[in-house]
Copies of this chain bind each other. A is one copy, B any other.
Amino acid sequence: MEATRWLGIERPFGLFLGMARPSGSDAGVTGPRVRAAAERLFAKFGYAAVSMRQIAADVGIGAGALYHYTPDKQTLLSRLMRDHLEELLDAWDAVDPGGDTVARLEAFARFHIRFHLDRPDAVFIAYMELRSLEPGSFAAVETLRRRYEAVPEGILRDGVAAGRMQVGDVKLGAMALIAMLTGVNTWYRDGGRLDRTAVEEIYANMARGMVGVG
């Protein structure tokens, strides 16, 4: 059977199950690969420094073919950032233990470190490329970011109200906590002196001390 016939003729999808797919067809898998390549390259070199050709080359397709998966470069960036923050919010909702405020604080600290260490590229982009967003996307991302900041803020407010925590200012305490925890991404490397669990434990203790938990 000639390759040209394979490529040119439409066939019912089921015919390809378990078979080598014709090389021109990657329905459903190229999209995610474009996304992954963009995330990796944007994090490594910065949005402005990465060309659509670089992304295409990383995926293994031509530059023109990229535009079947995103209308433009800007949309590629803004979708990465929005999806990252929405996933972050959903993930916390799924693990929030509720109840005791000190327990929630510790759970938040451990969750934040774990989630962020698992996605260093997305985290870096979400913090560094805000300036590369057009106004509309920027506003949407800011809203999501503020919703996440409200999480530790709520925990601290409850903790102070319950007399379990002492902090000069709840809002500042939340910002300080997030900055401290996110900072782990700048130095942690797998295989280093301390593993993730040890790091989580140490930071959870510092988080407690920071807000006056005796």
Contact = CB atoms under 8 A, between A and B. Distances in A.
Interface of A: 44-49, 128, 131-132, 167-169, 172-173, 175-176, 178-180, 182-184, 186-187, 194, 199, 201-203, 205-206, 209-212
Contacts of A47: 46, 49
A203 B172 contact: yes
Nearest to A172: B202
A168 to B, nearest CB: 4
B169 A175 contact: no
A192 to B, nearest CB: 10
B45 A45 contact: no
B46 A132 contact: yes
Nearest to A128: B128
Nearest to A205: B168
Contacts of A178: 183
A48 B47 CA distance: 9
A180 B181 CA distance: 8
A173 to B, nearest CB: 7
Contacts of A202: 167-169, 172
A186 B127 CA distance: 10
Contacts of A194: 169, 172
Contacts of A132: 46, 49
Contacts of A167: 202, 206
27 contacts: A44-B131, A46-B48, A46-B131, A49-B132, A128-B128, A167-B202, A168-B201, A168-B205, A169-B194, A172-B202, A172-B206, A175-B183, A175-B184, A176-B180, A176-B203, A176-B206, A178-B183, A179-B179, A179-B183, A179-B186, A180-B180, A180-B210, A209-B209, A209-B210, A209-B211, A209-B212, A210-B210
Nearest to A129: B46
A143 B173 CA distance: 31
A45 B48 contact: yes
